[in-house]
Structure 1
């Protein structure tokens, strides 16, 4: 019996010598990514290396205890994308891998740094101009953190041209997501970014350009109610988004300008009459800012633009209506 035990121990020891236990594999480094061949379609091994790298750094960002660790992870994720700046094959796959990690980074409510971490991940995603980030942008645009929604809308602005040119489900998803978010967004800066994302994109024409204009028109008109009521977040959004009008076809530009003017001017006079000074002040800012400033202020040489009277506003609105009607002929 003892002899059998001795033989068994020798076999086990021999096995350990022949097949020693391996330490856990080290995660890929930026040098490993730089060493990939990316002039053509990536292999399954290449894709796994990219996935392992992004997964590791998203995990580190999620588990970070200090902001310095969060920012180090942010830097590593951004540098990983930039390591092959001229390879579409690489950047498409890298963006896909990062987007796949977004859901796990957006549910960190028990973490003291969760809001900062969520925004950092959103920043990374929004910086990648690839159609593969769209699922992450859709998710981010519905998040409770306005900072995340802000970067989602900014990501749609950056990537929108590619999504619309791609057409199909990519374009449909973009328009549906921005339209849905734009009609209910509570943050002024985020709403402004959504309106900007709905503005024209270079090189996009035909069906999807028409669809984009239709969604912008729908959201713009729907939020004019909040503009008339002097809601600060809507007023702020419209002030920021007036520059979008410069990129629109002339007829749509006049129509949206007329909608905003009418809502803001009526709200201003109603708020003034009701002695709602805060709402009146907010609306006065709209009536004296950006594109509207050129139309709604008196050329009187004052440093601060003046607000037109009700009669003068009606006159300008009639002029816009006449211009719109002339376009129908």
Structure 2
């Protein structure tokens, strides 16, 4: 009997997908109906991602879909007045964070279509889901590009891989900005012994809403978080930090929980040059958010190579991968 399984089941009136690796006590649960949200992941008996509200709340409560689990962002973070220009075209996104901002895009609230799932000893357990902008005239009205998002979650060897493919099926270049917002479950009662290590190169000066106020530079924080890590016990609630990653470093971010004897490891490919750090005040969690650009980059006066501004050409695909696992401490 295979160690891997993948199944669709009904729970609390919703269809969910459950991936299992029994050899590593690993279970990933996804809610395609609400943003294809990975709302729970446990491995080795450890809770890595835990959602503390109901699936009904995720679907119906304003902004809840962006506050739990693993929201999928296009574009990530805020756009001032919902407006920017790219290649001579003006874009006006809806103001979904009144009175001034568009926040995180619509992938987090739209239903995704499950197109394939299964399990095998060779591949592990997987599920592939898809969302097409062509199916939403209301999105095309302000973002007239037929993008298709295809995401495969695959559980194998105790690691959870997330492969994202974004395909521009239209006939003109589309502005491109993609990110993820996983909320890692942390026992803050022992937070003096929780340390965060990021392969940072530079830190961006930002506001408390993550808007950039100047060029990035090496700082005491970027040096400390790269070398020895920082203690999350002193990281302020609703605090945020924007970092450029070192392209020559091992692209793995780590949260070490010394009191409980394990480390959450989050591997990123180089398609994500930036991470935003964020500690919510509504849950016992911490976010490491990989981005392809810095917040509101299309409105910044800096060179595109610095901020991550780019387009997706007609017919072009962008592929991005992350991996999530735990490392047990050596006794």
TM-score of the two chains, using structure 2 as the length reference? 0.23
More helix as a share of residues: 1
More strand as a share of residues: 2
TM-score of the two chains, using structure 1 as the length reference? 0.23
Higher relative contact order, structure no. (Cα contacts within 8 Å, ≥ 6 residues apart): 2
